[in-house]
Structure formats: structure tokens, C-alpha cells
């Protein structure tokens, strides 16, 4: 489907103000996404800023605990879900910029509420510090918190072939596996581990062994499997760029290029992910974005 360019995101003063706040959140918090989103034409760019700000908010619900009981934490997530569903029906839900912006986007683009519910369910799962047991369980989690995002993006960018949705699901898994590899130590500090416990046990490791890099061969084996699965999803979803509307292909190329560069950098020495957070320098991201834009012009 190809969505006609809406006007309210840019013409309505209150919506413009809300989008501006969402743009500021994206610029401050989206170390990798912001560079690609800058290539998105308006008004789709503004819609993406609104969606990212919403995603950041739901992620922070779990990462920034209030110190209350498990029941009160779940109640916060439940309340967030109710407000989200109202906004997705196009209703204005209070004065917070993310709700005004999300409601405006929902009035203009064919968003699917099930994608937003899926991501919220993934955050609920993170309220309980339990290890992921298997690779299939890990991919299911990635589908909740990342494939949902991919499908939302594709609905805003526009597409004509329904296969774009399944490819977006796979691309989201690729992105999330890359994030999981990058955040091994940071997630452990939050009491979470996404490296499957079955995979760790198969090579005689515990999470503590992995973080200490106490058995280099075994540690490398486990993390190399995460990297390999991410690469497989990048490859299997490669046709996605050709299925979305042409004006947003540079955005997807840039985002994918940045994430693949991050994966390649980690793969050069997998032990670095247990020492700290690996990143791509800003100038490298800019170069990837410029190449993606140039490739779009040539096409």
C-alpha cells in the first residue's frame, strides 16, 4: 500500500509542537536511528520521530524502575498500554507530546495496534528477571520488541507487496540480535540476560563466566552464534529495500548499514562486548547515511 502524504503533522500548530518534542527525544536518545531517519522525507520523518519517542517511553518504563512492587510496576505498564490504545484510535490523551503526536500519526497512517501491544508485552516480560532458555525463545522475544517496530516503520514508509511485512519482521530480529550482542554487559547489570542459557550450558558456561571471558573459546562460540543468526536475518530480509516506497529506501539502507557496521565491528573481537559498549563513531554513521542517500539518487 502507498499512503498519500498527510498534512496535519506539519500544518497543525499543536501537532507540530508535539512532533518537535519527539524529534528532540530522537536526536538525544537514538544513537543509531537518528542518522537514518534524517533521510526520510516529510511528513513521514515526523511520523517516525513520534513513533520513536513512543518506543523510547515504553522502553524506559521498564529500564527506569520506580522501586515499587511488581504489581505496581505492571500497573504502570498496563496504564501505558491503555493510553496507547486510545491514542492509536486517534484520540488526544492528555497534553504529553508523545500522545498528541502518536494520535496524529495514527489518524494519518495505517498503524496496527497489535504491533504496539506486542512491544508492550515484550517490556512486560522484562519486568521479570528470568533468563532466556533457547534460541527459539530469544527470537520470539526479538519479534516482540523489534519486529513490531519494523512493521510499524514499513506501514509509515509505505509498501505495495505484502511480503514486506514478513521481511520487516526478519529485519527487526537482525537489529535486535545486534543490540543484544552489544548490550551483553549492560543488560547483565540490569539483571537480564538474553544469551540463551541452553547455549551457555552446552559449552559449560554461566553468565558470570561469559562476562569474565573465563573460557575464551567457549565464550567466543556462544557470541559468534548470536552474530551468525543476526547475519542470517540481514541476508534473508535483503529484498525489503526494494519493496518499500522509493522515497524511504535511503532511510532503510542507512539504518541497516549502521547496524551491520556495528555487528562487523563487534565480530572483529567478540570479547570487547563484555568489556563495554561497542559503538560506531558519528562520522562513520554520517558516511553510511551519505552513501545510502547517494545510492538512492543513483537508483
pLDDT value at position 249?
Answer: 95
**What mean pLDDT do residues 136-149 have?**
94
pLDDT value at position 63?
Answer: 67
CA 250 to chain centre: 18
In this structure, are residues 172 and 142 in contact, taking their beta carbons and an 8 Å threshold? Answer: yes
**In sequence order, which residues have a C-beta less than 8 Å from that of residue 67 and are 6 or more positions away?**
none
pTM: 0.90
How far apart are the C-alpha atoms of 140 and 133, rounded to whole Å?
11
**What mean pLDDT do residues 209-235 have?**
97
Q: How deeply is 3 buried, as exposed, middle or buried, from its count of CB atoms within 10 A (0-12, 13-18, 19+)?
A: middle
**What mean pLDDT do residues 144-173 have?**
96
pLDDT value at position 123?
Answer: 85
pLDDT value at position 69?
Answer: 59
- Nearest-Å Rg of the Cα atoms of the chain is 19
How far apart are the C-alpha atoms of 118 and 148, rounded to whole Å?
7
Which residue carries 511528513 as its cell?
Answer: 43
How far apart are the C-alpha atoms of 102 and 153, rounded to whole Å?
13
How far apart are the C-alpha atoms of 175 and 179, rounded to whole Å?
6
User: Helix/strand/coil (H, E, C) string of 17-70?
Assistant: HHHHHHHHHHHHHCCCHHHHHCCCCCCHHHHHHHHHHHHHHHHHHHHCCCCCCH
- Express each pLDDT in 269-290 by its tens digit: 999 999 999 999 988 988 998 8
In CATH terms, 132-299 corresponds, of 3.30.70.260, 3.40.30.10, 3.30.2350.10, 1.10.600.10, to 1.10.600.10
Q: Write the CATH number of the domain with boundaries 7-128.
A: 1.10.600.10
Asked if the model's pLDDT at residue 75 lies above 50, the reply is yes
- CA dihedral 76→60→56→116, nearest 10 degrees, is -40
Residue ranges of the chain that CATH labels 1.10.600.10 = 7-128, 132-299
Among 104, 106, 142, 122, smallest CA distance to 59 is for 122
In this structure, are residues 33 and 22 in contact, taking their beta carbons and an 8 Å threshold? Answer: no
pLDDT value at position 1?
Answer: 45
Amino acid at each position: 500500500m502507498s499512503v498519500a502524504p498527510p498534512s496535519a503533522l506539519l500544518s497543525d500548530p499543536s501537532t507540530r509542537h508535539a512532533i518537535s518534542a519527539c524529534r528532540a527525544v530522537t536526536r538525544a536518545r537514538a544513537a543509531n536511528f537518528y542518522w537514518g531517519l534524517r533521510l526520510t522525507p516529510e511528513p513521514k520523518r515526523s511520523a517516525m520521530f513520534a513513533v520513536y519517542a513512543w518506543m523510547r517511553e515504553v522502553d524506559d518504563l521498564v529500564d527506569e524502575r520506580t522501586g515499587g512492587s511488581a504489581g505496581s510496576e505492571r500497573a504502570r505498564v498496563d496504564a501505558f498500554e491503555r493510553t496507547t490504545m486510545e491514542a492509536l484510535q486517534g484520540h488526544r490523551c492528555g497534553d504529553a507530546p508523545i500522545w498528541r503526536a502518536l494520535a496524529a500519526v495514527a489518524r494519518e497512517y495505517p498503524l496496527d495496534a497489535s504491533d504496539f501491544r506486542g512491544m508492550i508485552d515484550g517490556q512486560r516480560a522484562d519486568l521479570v528477571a528470568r533468563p532466556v532458555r533457547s534460541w527459539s525463545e530469544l527470537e520470539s522475544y526479538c519479534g516482540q520488541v523489534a519486529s513490531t517496530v519494523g512493521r510499524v516503520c514499513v506501514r509509515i514508509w509505505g509498501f505495495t507487496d505484502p511480503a514486506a511485512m514478513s521481511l520487516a519482521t526478519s529485519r527487526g530480529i537482525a537489529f535486535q540480535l545486534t543490540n543484544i550482542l552489544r548490550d551483553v554487559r549492560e543488560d547483565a547489570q540490569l539483571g537480564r540476560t538474553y544469551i540463551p542459557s541452553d547455549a551457555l550450558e552446552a559449552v559449560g558456561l554461566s553468565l558470570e563466566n561469559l562476562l569474565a571471558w573465563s573460557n575464551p573459546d567457549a565464550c567466543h562460540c556462544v557470541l559468534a552464534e548470536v552474530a551468525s543468526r543476526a547475519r542470517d536475518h540481514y541476508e534473508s530480509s535483503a529484498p525489503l529495500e526494494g519493496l518499500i516506497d522509493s522515497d524511504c529506501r535511503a532511510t532503510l539502507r542507512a539504518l541497516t548499514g549502521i547496524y551491520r557496521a556495528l555487528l562487523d565491528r563487534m565480530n572483529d573481537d567478540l570479547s570487547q562486548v563484555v568489556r563495554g559498549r561497542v559503538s560506531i563513531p558519528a562520522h562513520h554513521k554520517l558516511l553510511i547515511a551519505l552513501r545510502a542517500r547517494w545510492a538512492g539518487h543513483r537508483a
